[in-house]
A = this chain, B = another copy of it.
Amino acid sequence: MKLLREKIQNEGIVLSDGVLKVDSFLNHQIDPILMKEIGIEFAKRFENEGITKIVTIESSGISPAVMAGLELGIKVVFARKRKSLTLTNHLLTSKVYSFTKQEENMIAISSQYLSSTDRVLIIDDFLANGEAAKGLIDLVNQSGASVQGIGIVIEKSFQKGAAELKNLGYRVESLARIQSLTKGKVSFVEDAQEVTV
């Protein structure tokens, strides 16, 4: 997705060989117009999968997920990272380790909003080691619903998550795929390479 790659190139800050900060449009400040374009792109890529629900995780997954939900005309459920007092019944839970925050979180979804007939699209802002995505897959599986695809805004293709999820048989659609962040520079996976990756 060209618009997104340009935004990353112009505004992304490479903090280290592994960490890209995109706080100006995705993780802290949000660009709603870009989010709408991202929603349209996810909807286009998954429109033939019969998706009935989108599952994401707070907080940065919410904007792209809601825009995709708007395009597909379906509801979004966001997993919470810890229990809230008003979210206590019928909880499905899974553990997720965040390498960025160096901590383990419990993530939770109420089973009330997923049924065994749901065909789920998982959406998240980043895919690195795949911890969050695997936690969300676990929650969807617990509900009896099926994961039809995984939509990622920014994939760090040099980390293991994308390859692992594809090996598990999931369709992963990432709107920007980063090959490396070395020397403070963002390099994207080239189109030619995308065919074979």
Contact = CB atoms under 8 A, between A and B. Distances in A.
- Which 5 residue pairs are nearest across A and B when measured between Cβ atoms? A58-B59, A32-B70, A32-B69, A29-B113, A30-B76
A113 B28 CA distance: 9
Q: Classify chain A's interface size.
A: 35 or more
A3 interface: no
A179 to B, nearest CB: 20
Copy count, this protein chain: 2
A36 interface: yes
Interface in A35-75: 35-36, 58-59, 62-63, 65-67, 69-70, 73-75
- The SS class assigned to the A binding surface is mixed
Interface stretch (A83-91, A144-152, A161-169, A188-196): A83-91
A69 B29 CA distance: 11
A180 B110 CA distance: 27
A142 to B, nearest CB: 16
